[in-house]
Amino acid sequence: MKKENLRKINWWKWAFITLAAVIVIAIAAFFHAASAPVPQTTTGQAAYAKTDNSVQIDLTRQQLNALSANYLAQFLRQSKIKYRFIVGPKYATIIGKTKFLGANIQFSLNLIPQHLANGNVLLKAAGLNVGRLNVPVGFVMGFIAKQYKLPNWVTVNAKKHTILLDLNKYSRHKQLHYSMEKIDMANGRFQMKLSIPNNTKEIPNVP
């Protein structure tokens, strides 16, 4: 009887040690994936040459949010992971969910938009809300870069806590070129420029 009890105790002991080891390895892999470096860029593609074939568009905050919601609805249609991008009176905010130690956690990442000279937009992290958890901003941004489906013209720099919206790259193979001209968060006004490139062949005269 003593030998049988000893075997039972040893079996549970090793099962517990194995389970603990698996949990530690899983947590380490999770942190490594979220904090691993990703390709970085600061300002993105060079600005397109200015042409006379341009039109200025003034957008309100509501209109910009409607465009964002429509774009993400189409872009994330086949993705299991959903997130939102909302422009408020002070911040642009990414709202999403992540899984941490088996629990579903909703986070809100606040960003300050900055208009760049080449027409792109740089978002700088200003704060993070993840309930009662104290999670570093860089960790969450690394997780977004690795686990979220992002457009190829959006680059996350977890180390510098920035997200680049490269409108020049977005416009590269399109008939219209998009560039941001002005960002007025306080008044909810945003100015964009749409340009038609001068690459069309001359049309011959029709008799």
Q: What's the rounded Cα separation, in Å, for the pair 178 and 198?
A: 15
Q: Token match 């416009």: residue? A: 171
Q: What's the rounded Cα separation, in Å, for the pair 128 and 97?
A: 13
Q: What angle do CA 20, 25, 29 make, to 5 degrees?
A: 150
Return per-residue pLDDT of the chain as tens, 207 residues. Answer: 545 554 545 555 555 555 555 444 444 444 444 444 544 555 655 555 555 578 889 999 999 999 999 999 999 998 888 999 999 999 999 999 876 666 677 889 999 999 999 999 999 999 888 766 667 888 888 888 988 999 999 999 999 999 999 999 998 877 788 899 999 999 999 999 988 876 544 444 444
pLDDT of residue 132: 66
> How far is residue 55 CA from its own chain's centroid?
28
Element (H, E) at 122: strand 121-129
Q: Token match 């968060």: residue? A: 185
At 54 the three-state DSSP class reads strand
DSSP state of 43: S
User: Count of residues for the chain?
Assistant: 207
The type of residue at 121 is V
